[in-house]
Chain A
């Protein structure tokens, strides 16, 4: 195609052929970029090992769904849509940007496959892409710079505001788009002015606007030529500047997110081993436990810090953050990333080895997490938080810095196998209550008695007066369905779910061994529990046990098969809402089964708590050892949750976790809603409605 304008590959500027710039800019840009990336990789080499090269097919599917498909983005509709547009534009325009680099060296350059019709189709796509990216950037900049959504705000204690960086980058992207439009537009305008052939220009695109602007003003050819060359080099300079700027801040995610998603954690609800590659029985040989200094993090966890896009979705959903505890997951990442930038600088020596607690993290911050998983559920780049929190807690436990409020229950767990310090022989006392045992005989297995099914009761249901009612309801449901079941009684220890998540790995291992032996030697064929924490522990933390079910699953089957028959709802005026326990919902993906169980009571009226249900459920305050921890907070999580239920118009909260029951019941009282709101466990609800 004959061209009216001289291309950057042939032009000259004050006597210097511009092709020199076309060659020098990319070489310098790529050299600087390579240097920066090498520096950024340095800490990852020193990091702890992490096992992320397994199950490649699953990982590829994740990349397609979560990275390419931007699956999590629409959870925030406005920001998500803008991001999807800009992301799609980046993908489309990456090809264009690459060919532009070569066009500056050879004017007839064409990427393989983009000659002919494919090239023309691509040309249309990229004109559209450039246009919608520009529009999205302008909207995003206005939103970020003028409307300033609350979730981007940086509280004073976490340093300065990040709006500047965000708007600056949007400016860079817009500059790239505008430069390309001017580069194309000048060319097309010149061709049209000279009555020569031009590429297809789609009305409405940025190129179309620039062409019309030049034509309307009858811009002289010479001026078009200057703009043409200037726009090209502006584009190149901006492009390589942008490339080198990415690894210096939150926009590093543009490069790292694909790797971060590929290496993401595949098994929800699990906790990483103390050290990858070290078996449980070799733990005693480890010199140190958990994360104490930065290099104790695994390389993937460091990659997480680089990949954090500072979008604030984690903290927006974090219940600890919502109730004013000194924890904001977003700033766990940002503070750690800034630590990386500071201690592994682009120039100068690396400094490492200083303890993190007391430097960038505080003890209270790390103990504040309930491990509910709301942050991880929301993160569009699949960053992990729970494993990091657990690793930091392991480090604190190893150093002995455990709050006094947790030392007592931990010591009781070590000595008595329950956090309350109650005597082992009293563990089955709840089942011996006279009135109850007359209608429902609960066998204690492991000795002479045997059973098909083990009901793993766990500590809170064994010892808490109120929660023992869940134990009794569970026993009644199992009995009336004709299931041959028993409990371990004094041989049962706490499942250890929170012991592990609070960082006391050795105590957990000890308790796990005792429970495993008691369960296996009892000869049961399957296990049920009414506690999601127990369910999660037995399925994720224990090995080689008989199949485990949560009572909601068991009840769904029993109702389905007609072994349990239910009468119509007791009180038609009550409006029920289901509160998803974190360890049933988010960590195990069980959302519909408990809802179906509720709905199988005919005439029941059930509402959802707006957006805060299912995988966006709001933690009630945490279970296990969290009940003993005395956090710094403005409000209780449970109170916020009860408020949500009230707003939804419900007056009965149904949950399926003993800890949720305790926390919500407590919150009803402290919110002054006694008599107006009640909470009931799913098993109790079914028990009440059994015929």
Chain B
């Protein structure tokens, strides 16, 4: 089974202190460290496991600047076979639809049975997966937390739904799935793994390579533009209980009882 996984390089929320810059147009990007979007990492792990069990190849693709190559290498160190970097000045300022348009061209250039994305990105809107499926006119399942390969025409996917319930679906191939965290335990990638794939060639595709028109993507193609960026003011509603541990526990139980949380 040939699998394409769409990944994104994002500022690592665990290792950064995210602050909005003074003009309010973006976050402060000095001193930031980046990593693979967490959801995408689960998607790549899942793809690798499917490949190891049923054969085929895993390709990882990202849209971004040249520094985005590092996330491709990291995923290739994990076990992905190929990487594709979509990078072009014309891509800058793309909205979700623009990114989906670029990825659609990548899918059409290859012959993939399965396309995976993360359910969302740390700095995204969780929109690309669905748009990509619609543009490709492929079946789509979101928030997938289990995949079972039935045959080369059909797979079963589990979805997490409201209230911790689980839903099982059959879905025809080829299809697009957005992957939820927790579907597996992504393997660790150390410096040694990354060094091993340091010299592997990663093709860089631009507007012309993908047969796109520069107007359809980037700033010019964007139908959604960001207007402001700010940290909301703290609202009311939080109450900090004070006193010794015993007193706090007592007060908390009382409050939970009075509000019907416990009986």
Q: What residues make up the interface of A, taking CB atoms closer than 8 Å to B?
A: 283-284, 289, 397-402, 404, 406-408, 410-412, 414-416, 421-425, 504-507, 510
Contact = CB atoms under 8 A, between A and B. Distances in A.
B81 to A, nearest CB: 16
Interface string B161-193: 000000000000000000000000111111111
Interface in B35-53: 35
B188 A412 contact: no
A506 B17 contact: no
Nearest to B79: A400
A421 B187 contact: no
Given A284-B195, A404-B185, A411-B35, A421 B190 contact: no
Contacts of A410: 188, 190
A416 B15 contact: yes
A630 to B, nearest CB: 13
Contact of A421 (B15, B31, B78, B191): B15
Nearest to B187: A400
Given A399-B187, A411-B35, A506-B195, 6 more contacts: A284-B192, A289-B192, A400-B189, A401-B188, A415-B12, A505-B192
B35 A425 contact: no
26 contacts: A283-B192, A284-B192, A398-B193, A399-B187, A400-B189, A400-B193, A401-B188, A402-B187, A404-B186, A406-B188, A407-B188, A408-B14, A410-B188, A410-B190, A411-B12, A411-B15, A412-B14, A415-B15, A415-B33, A415-B35, A421-B15, A423-B17, A423-B31, A424-B31, A506-B190, A507-B191
B75 to A, nearest CB: 12
A421 B12 contact: yes
Nearest to B182: A404
A506 B185 CA distance: 22
A412 B195 contact: no
A161 B12 CA distance: 52
A407 B14 CA distance: 12
A561 to B, nearest CB: 44
Q: Describe B's contact surface by its main secondary structure.
A: loop
Contacts of A412: 14-15
Contacts of B17: 423
B151 interface: no
Contacts of B33: 415-416
Contacts of B186: 404, 407
A397 B35 CA distance: 19
Given A284-B195, A401-B187, A410-B188, A425 B14 contact: no
Contacts of A397: 188, 190
A320 B78 CA distance: 31
A401 to B, nearest CB: 7
Contacts of A406: 188
A400 B188 contact: yes
Contacts of B191: 414, 504, 506-507, 510
Nearest to A404: B185
A48 B31 CA distance: 44
Contacts of A423: 16-17, 31
Nearest to A407: B188
A399 B192 CA distance: 11
Contacts of B192: 283-284, 289, 398, 505-506
Given A411-B15, A412-B14, A415-B15, A507 B188 contact: no
Top-7 shortest CB links A-B = A400-B187, A421-B15, A402-B188, A415-B33, A506-B191, A506-B192, A400-B188
A425 B31 contact: yes
Nearest to B36: A411
A284 B194 CA distance: 11
A576 to B, nearest CB: 26
A282 B35 CA distance: 28
A400 B15 CA distance: 21
A415 B192 CA distance: 15
A400 B35 contact: no
A398 B190 CA distance: 7
Nearest to A420: B15
Contacts of A404: 185-186
Contacts of B15: 411-412, 415-416, 421-422
A406 B14 CA distance: 13
A507 B31 contact: no
Contacts of A424: 31
Contacts of B12: 411, 415, 421
B38 to A, nearest CB: 10
A504 to B, nearest CB: 6
Given A421-B15, A506-B190, A400 B78 contact: yes
A540 B31 CA distance: 33
B185 A504 contact: no
Contacts of A283: 192
A411 B78 CA distance: 14
Contacts of B188: 397, 400-402, 406-407, 410
Q: Residue among B12, B188, B192 with the most chain A CB within 10 A?
A: B188
Contacts of B31: 423-425
Contacts of B187: 399-402
A421 B14 contact: yes
Contacts of B190: 397-398, 410, 504, 506-507
Contacts of A421: 12, 14-16
A402 B78 CA distance: 12
B110 to A, nearest CB: 26
Nearest to B32: A423
Q: Residue among B15, B35, B186, B193 with the most chain A CB within 10 A?
A: B15
Contacts of A400: 78, 187-189, 193
A410 B193 CA distance: 14
Contacts of B193: 398, 400
Interface string B5-21: 00000001011110000
Nearest to A406: B188
Nearest to A507: B191
Interface string B226-262: 0000000000000000000000000000000000000
Nearest to A284: B195
B83 to A, nearest CB: 18
A455 B223 CA distance: 56
Contacts of A284: 192, 195
B108 to A, nearest CB: 32
B35 to A, nearest CB: 7
B67 to A, nearest CB: 14
Nearest to A412: B15
